[in-house]
Amino acid sequence: MAPDPDTVVPEVLFDAGEIAGRVGRLATEIAAVVPVDVTVVGLLKGAFVFTADLVRALDGQRIRPRLEFLQVSSYGAGTESSGRVQVIGGLPGSVQGRDVLLVDDIQDSGRTLAFTAEMLKDHGARRLWSCALLDKPSRRKVAFEADFVGFSIPDVFVVGYGIDYAERWRHLPWIGKVT
């Protein structure tokens, strides 16, 4: 049985300073590969904070990204993926003929990034790179690996820094694990 989201007390896994440092280093790694006018597509809702911090850090690396968001879901209100990725709302309109950096909060099963990357390519993305703040390699179900990864973590449920549990805990400036 999943814990009650109203009574959960997350334990700090990565504090705000660790996250900021890693986002800065990711921007340096990404800037060495992507073109200056890359289109960043952030996946909502979980990656909104990470995407915002990443595009600001990319600006510091002289990258001038366009920014788009796409809402997808495979979890709903639960703690386990349904195994089906659903697009909620419309698709980004400006990927046709563009170089794209796809940004997600967590790569676990690999389904969301694989599905979304393929969809963006089908909609005309010229080249595509992917970036995940967190990676849970032990949960991989699909042969897809993000090109850039912030932190590799064990199979724990996490919240904070945009990541939720039943629409709670996104506001935290750090990432915590829920036990």
Tens digit of pLDDT for each residue in 51-63? 999 999 999 999 9
Query: 37: pLDDT confidence band, cut at 50, 70 and 90?
Result: very high
Residues 157, 178 contacting (CB under 8 angstroms): yes
- pTM equals 0.89
Q: Does residue 87 contact residue 72 with C-beta atoms inside 8 Å?
A: yes
**CB atoms closer than 10 angstroms to residue 83:** 9
Catalytic positions = 108
* 159 neighbors 165 (Cβ within 8 angstroms): yes
Residue in the structure block whose two tokens are 């046709």: 96
- What are residue 176's DSSP bridge partners? 12, 159
The CATH code of domain 11-74+91-178 reads 3.40.50.2020
The whole-number average pLDDT for the span 3-26 is 91
pLDDT for 5 equals 72
Question: Taking a C-beta distance cutoff of 8 angstroms, is the pair 40, 30 a contact?
Answer: no
What are 69-117's pLDDT values in tens digits? Answer: 998 876 555 555 556 667 776 666 678 999 999 999 999 999 999 999 9
Q: Looking at residue 8, what is its pLDDT?
A: 77
Q: Where are the beta strands (DSSP E) in the chain?
A: 11-14, 39-44, 66-73, 86-88, 99-107, 127-135, 148-152, 157-159, 175-178
CA distance 104 to 49: 10
Query: Beta strand pairing status for 99-107 and 86-88?
Result: unpaired
In the prediction, which pLDDT does 57 show?
98
Token match 């991989």: residue?
140
